[in-house]
A and B are shown apart, each in its own frame.
Chain A
C-alpha cells in the first residue's frame, strides 16, 4: 500500500525558513517523480515543485522559484522541500504527491495527508 506522510509544517515568521519532509513507502521510490502541491486556506490547488525519480531534474512554479528547493534521498525514501524567504502568501497546506512516471508526463496517483505551513508574525 502506497503511503506518503508529510511532516515539518508549522508557524514561521515572514522571511523565515522551514524544511518539509515526505516519507514514502509501498512503492519503489526512486522510480517515480514526486511533487509538492499546496492549497492556501479556502483556495484551489497550486503545483509548487517537482523532481525526477533520480533527482537529476527539477522544476518550480514561478511563485517559489529562487526561494524553494526540492530534493530527495532515495536511500531514505524521503522527499524534501526547503522553503526560504517565506511570505504570508506561502501559507497553505502542503501535499506531497507521487507521479506515475520517472519524469515529464506524469500526473499524480497518490497524495499525502498534507502539512500546514503558516507564515505570520
Chain B
C-alpha cells in the first residue's frame, strides 16, 4: 500500500507568516491528493482536492500544489483561525490513506 508522509509534524509561526506543509507519497498518485483541516475539538474539513483545487468557501490564502509523489499546502499569511492540524490524503485508489498530520500553532 502507498504510504503518505507529512512534514513537519508540527510548526509554530507568527501571524502573517507564510507556512508550508509537505506531503510525500511512497508511489506516484498523479494529482489525487486532498488536504483537510481539523481545528481542536472539531470535525475535519475539506480544504483542497485534486492537489490544487480549493473547496468552496476556503480562503484564498490557502493553496496547494504538486503532482506525482510530492505535494505542498501553503498558507500565504497565517491567521489565528488557521490554528489546526492539517492532513493530506491520497484517493487514487483504496486504501484512502491519510498522512500523520501537521499541527500548526501561533508563535
Contacts and interface: CB of A to CB of B under 8 A. Distances in A.
A60 B97 CA distance: 11
Interface in A10-58: 35, 37, 44-47, 50
A111 interface: yes
B98 A50 contact: no
Nearest to A111: B43
Interface residues of B, number: 25
Interface residues of A, number: 23
Nearest to A113: B43
B91 to A, nearest CB: 5
Interface string B1-25: 1000000000000000000000000
A95 interface: yes
Given A44-B101, A46-B98, A107-B49, A112 B43 contact: yes
A107 B44 contact: no
B43 A105 contact: no
Nearest to B100: A44
Interface of B: 1, 32, 34, 36, 38, 43-46, 49, 55, 85, 87, 89, 91-101
